[in-house]
A and B are shown apart, each in its own frame.
Chain A
Amino acid sequence: MSEFAVEMRDVIKIFPTPEGGEVNAVDHVTLQIKHGEFFSLLGPSGCGKTTSLRLMAGFEWPTSGEVCIDGKLMGRTPPYLRTVNTVFQSYALFQHMTVFQNVAFGLEMEKVSKAEITRRVGEALEMVKLVGMNNRKPKQLSGGQQQRVALARALVKRPAVLLLDEPLGALDLKLRKEMQLELKALQEQVGITFIYVTHDQEEALVMSDRIAVISQGKVLQIGIPAEIYERPNCRFVADFIGETNFLFGTFKSWEGDMAMVSVPGLEAEVVGLGAKGLSSGQKVIVSVRPEKILISEGSVFKQNCFQARVVDTAYVGSDTRVILDIGQGTRLNVWERNKISTIDPCAFYQQGQEVWVTLFPENTQVLAEV
């Protein structure tokens, strides 16, 4: 067995635009996906994640670069000769066939015996928890059921890699959350590589072993969910995943391995984790997530502790969301867990209240402004 389940080596895919120009839908993408991992391609609509998936499946061929599956170069191999299977966003069930026939189709192509087909189809449908629907047509099934059929149809072939193109997009919220957990459990049970395309960052964080964040055809960052969330390497990633606060300033110097940033309106410099290669005078963005900021009545820390005034608050039950002004109109969002059960109005922040905020250096990212 080769080192990686799926590889993309410096792949470029160019499409013509309606106006007559060209666009790099996939721009120098290099990915190495390990056997048995749940790998997500995450990004906004049109970023190239679906195109990347289609390049792996064989519905598109790279303009340049290579796609490798299990170490073998794919070149212009058509989809029906690749050992990967796809679950489509629209399910793409064969409307003129029954559930059984849909799932059996792939096995028929492999010339598997009838008895074997019946057995394996039964197994696959059981695995996706869809029993007793063999003779129904797709029209007669709900969205969630159709989704399971699409899944069973692909899994029954025991592919080395399963490609999923936003399979949960058409489901309502509750069902979607249930299916996320089910899919994750399924992947662990079956043990094959899942490559999952989504624009929903929460979904990616919940399900994935590793995530690749993609924007405008380029891979911006690859890492485990925690890495993507806690150590974003650029503005886009910090902004796209979860919520964050941005402060715009200038990099001054290094203090040990901490970066010192000067932000207009703040008396002291902001300290945070910085990427290597920052030069003095370079414009940077300080990113700190709202749940990581501490609000206190007095100044408690020496570094990254600033005066602030409460502008507005929002009570959302489990949290209180506070908007603060730290000077010159710069605003910070802070989320505080409501750890104490109280309905006393005095316990909540008042508009105009003077407080102090602390941005812990290890929770603060300093990113180059691109």
Chain B
Amino acid sequence: MSEKKPAFWLRVFAILAYAYIYFPILILIIFSFNTQKINVRWEGFTLHWYDVLFHDSNVLLAVRNTLMIACVSTLVATVIGTLAALALQRYRFPGYTAAESALYIPVIVPEVVMGISLLAFFVMVGLKLGLTTITLSHIAFNIPFVTLVVRARLHGFDKSIEEASMDLGANEMTTFWRVTLPTIMPGVLSGALLAFTLSLDDYVITYFTAGPGATTLPLRVFSMVRFAVTPEVNALSTLWVFTIFVVLLASQVIQRRQEHH
């Protein structure tokens, strides 16, 4: 589209829209420092709620669980998903369409339905609901997203470098490790990042497959919001926001660095 300066009212609208987007977050952060418990009026600046947060064993457990689940499910889903992407992008085999369709299930099926289906499945099979079932579920919905991302990256892949590698004496395995994988690595990492984020953030599916005992950060936040609303939630939220921000910034910096080299 043209780059003529957008009309005045358009700019105003855009500013208002961005304000609408950021406003809730800002309120959240500001009130995390509020002395007043009920969070209605601004009373004074305090770090009290952060203190409470750091001593809240439930939250800390939830954080640990969430990270563990995210790491495991990302790892497994990335490996499996990358192999699947390679399979779909380069080969034809019986069951191709079936496999491709199966990969679209999480994209199309509403999360509620996926959640209850997994719940029903685990119960029928006799698997105890807990961290394991959560992880298994996360892997299941992560695989298709990894596959999608890696496939998109594979689109422009020049097969001749693999042929060159074999021509120079490397067999299929060596070619995969020394040439193919390094070349698609940016795509694989994108997929992994997506999977990690999806796992970290997931509420609905985790909710159905967690059972009574297990807790993850999103579940914990939900019950805090539902039942015990104190600025501790704000503090947690603020920390979360800043962590994400730092991580994103870091990844941007690393990306810039890589491009400059």
Q: What is A's interface to B at a CB cutoff of 8 Å? A: 57-59, 78-80, 84-86, 88-90, 92-96, 105-106, 109-110, 153-154, 157
Contact = CB atoms under 8 A, between A and B. Distances in A.
B39 interface: no
Interface of B: 158, 160-161, 163-172, 174, 178-179, 182-183, 185
A94 B171 contact: no
A105 B161 contact: no
Contact of A94 (B161, B166, B174): B161
A105 B160 contact: no
A86 B170 contact: no
B112 to A, nearest CB: 43
Q: Among the interface residues A57, A78, A85, A109, which one has the most CB atoms of the partner chain B within 10 A?
A: A109
Contacts of A59: 163, 166-167
Nearest to A57: B167
Given A90-B160, A92-B160, A92-B161, A79 B166 contact: yes
A88 B162 CA distance: 11
A79 B182 contact: no
Contacts of B170: 80, 105, 109
A88 B163 contact: yes
B160 A157 contact: no
Contacts of B164: 86, 88, 92-94, 153
Contacts of A79: 163, 166-167
Contacts of A86: 163-164, 167
A-B residue pairs, 6 tightest by C-beta: A109-B169, A106-B168, A92-B160, A92-B164, A79-B166, A96-B182
B171 A85 contact: no
Contacts of A58: 166-167
Nearest to B164: A92
Contacts of B182: 94, 96
A82 B179 CA distance: 20
A80 B167 contact: yes
Most chain B beta-carbon contacts within 10 A, residue among A58, A90, A105: A105
Given A95-B183, A96-B183, A109 B161 contact: no
B161 A153 contact: no
B179 A94 contact: yes
A163 to B, nearest CB: 8
B167 to A, nearest CB: 5
Nearest to A79: B166
Nearest to B170: A109
Nearest to B179: A94
Nearest to A103: B168
A18 to B, nearest CB: 13
Nearest to B182: A96
Contacts of A153: 164, 168
A86 B168 CA distance: 8
Contact of A109 (B158, B163, B172, B174): B174
Given A94-B179, A96-B182, A109-B174, A85 B161 contact: no
Contacts of B167: 57-59, 79-80, 84-86, 154
Contacts of A105: 165, 168, 170, 178
Contacts of A57: 163, 167
